Structure 1
Amino acid sequence: MPPILAMCAFALTLSISPGPVNVLTLSTGLNHGARRALPFVGGATISFTLLLLAIGLGLGAVAESLGRGFDLLAVAGAGLIAWFGYKLATARGSLSTTEAPIPSFWHGVMLQVLNPKAWGACIAAVAIFELQESPAHLAVFVCLYGVICFFGIGSWAVFGQQVKRVLTSPERLRLFNITLGLTLIVLAVALLWRSVLV
């Protein structure tokens, strides 16, 4: 029997903790409503769970063998995150319509595939729960993670939609968008620093 409670706690902790995917989901919920964030949430969830499955089936060894070549993922991922941060920080912030980007399903897919943090989390999960040794446990964990990840990331969209009630003027919305955009840029730099420069 797999350690289901530990698996659930691991999945929830990683899915709900702040990071580029969740900050983008928060901004989409804020600027466009939680429903408009669902394609991005779905793409990020599916991409992460497929990555987890692939690493559990042996892709982790391939990733580790790439060595410094793996840094290209970090550069591409940081670039994508920084681009979203820039677009968000420079959006005008109108309460009726906004220029803030609406990340798509494929943005969610790409962001997870290009995110070394996601790769690291998957490799850690496979190692901690010894998922390469048991295809049945891997299948259970992938299914659990898929559900928990969707609701964990999706909760940020709902939170963003609720925050909009407090941001009752275009100036407040613009300031919040600038803050979220700069946060994404800082996360991109931190990701690049940890993955490539250290």
Structure 2
Amino acid sequence: MIAYLIGLSAGLVPALSTGPVFLTLVQNSIDHGFKKAVYFIIGVALTDTSIILLTWLGLSQLSEGSEPPAELSIGGGALLILFGLVFIFKKPQDQQPATSSSGHLQKFGLFTQAIMLNAINPIIWGFWAAISNYAITEFNNTASELLFFAGVLNMVWVTDFLKAYYAQKLNKYLNEKFKKYLRIGIGSILVILGLKLIIEFYLL
């Protein structure tokens, strides 16, 4: 139980961060509503869990503290730029009700977007590798390590649901002009973060 509580505390770090995943989650919740944003959250949760398993089981060099592969920096930067440009040039949602098939495609798109955004982001890999290293060195049995991971992930999942829920609530107070500038602002931040990843790779 102590390991679980420590995990909850460690989970506050990603839970309170305002990185690309947070920005994209908030924007998707405003654009598509809480119920559809849940599919984005599920995609993030699935990827986080998979990365933890990879680093914890020693299937990634990141668990030994080495530098993330170059492909992650370049690919992650390019992906952030792409998502940023989509937000910047995205047109407002039309007010016509979506068909069942388009709704399913939208949910699948949000789920896939979350997986891509997480899986190819070296910052995400670096964080979960550090979490895995801490668990391995701090706890002396598998049960405690799993409880620690459960605490971290539970904190992240709960706060992600809260972020999406309250972002949707905020939506009704925003006019279309403000939402347009919000999309452009978030998109610009994602582009800058993507460029930062790529530039840092070539400079370091």
How high is the TM-score relative to the length of structure 1?
0.83
In the alignment of these two chains, the number of paired residues is 194
Task: Give ranges in structure 1 of 5+ residues lacking alignment.
Answer: none
1:117 aligned residue: 123
Change (3 A) 1:159 1:183: farther
Distance of 1:47 and 1:108 partners within structure 2 = 8
Return the alpha-carbon distance in structure 2 between the equivalents of residues 138 and 192 of structure 1. Answer: 34
Q: Structure 1 residue 89: deviation in Å?
A: 0.8
Q: Does 1:135 align with 2:147?
A: no
Q: Which amino acid aligns with 1:197?
A: L
Q: Counterpart of 1:79 in structure 2: which amino acid? A: A
Aligned to 1:162: 169
Q: CA deviation at 1:81?
A: 1.6
Q: Which residue of 1 aligns with 2:79?
A: 80
Amino acid at match of 1:32: H
Say if 1:167 and 1:130 are closer, same or farther in 2 by CA, change over 3 A: same
Note the C-alpha offset of 1:192. Answer: 3.0
Q: CA RMSD in A?
A: 2.8
Instruction: Tell me if structure 2 keeps the 8 A contact 1:53–1:142.
Output: no
In the alignment, is residue 91 of structure 1 matched against residue 90 of structure 2?
yes
One-letter identity of the residue aligned with 1:75 = I
Shift of 1:191: 3.0
**Would the aligned equivalents of 2:63 and 2:132 in 1 still touch at CA under 8 Å?**
no
Amino acid at match of 2:35: R
Query: Quick check: 74-83 or 56-65, which moved more?
Result: 56-65
Q: Tell me how far apart the structure 2 counterparts of residues 164 and 64 of structure 1 sit (CA, whole Å).
A: 43
Map Cα deviations across residues 47-81 of structure 1 (whole Å, 9 max, x no partner).
1112112211112436769757x011111112112
| Deviations 1:25-68, CA, capped at 9 Å, x for gaps | 00011111111111111011111112112211112436769757
2:37 corresponds to:
37
Assess if the C-alpha contact under 8 Å between 2:6 and 2:151 holds in 1. Answer: no
Q: State the AA in 1 paired with 2:82.
A: W
Contact 1:30 1:160 in 2 (8 A): yes
**Are positions 1:175 and 2:189 aligned together?**
no
Distance 1:46 1:94, change over 3 A: closer
Q: What's the counterpart of residue 113 of structure 2?
A: 107
Paired with 1:119 and 1:34, the residues of 2 have a C-alpha distance of 27
1:172 counterpart SS class: helix
> 2:12 matched to which residue of 1?
12
3-state DSSP of counterpart to 1:59: coil
Q: Judge conservation of contact 1:53–1:138 (CA < 8 Å) in 2.
A: no
Could you tell me which amino acid in structure 1 is paired with residue 143 of structure 2? A
Most deviating of 140-149 and 109-118: 140-149
Question: Offset at 1:86?
Answer: 0.5
Runs of 4+ in 1 over 4 A off after TM superposition: 62-68
Q: Which moved more, 1:173-182 or 1:154-163?
A: 154-163
Preserved contact between residue 62 and residue 129 of structure 2 (Cα < 8 Å): no
Q: Does 1:192 align with 2:191?
A: no
* Secondary structure, aligned partner of 1:26: helix
- Quote the offset at 1:175 in angstroms: 1.0
- Contact 2:87/2:186 (<8 A) preserved: yes
The Cα of 1:110 is off from its aligned counterpart by 2.0
- TM-score, normalisation: structure 2: 0.81
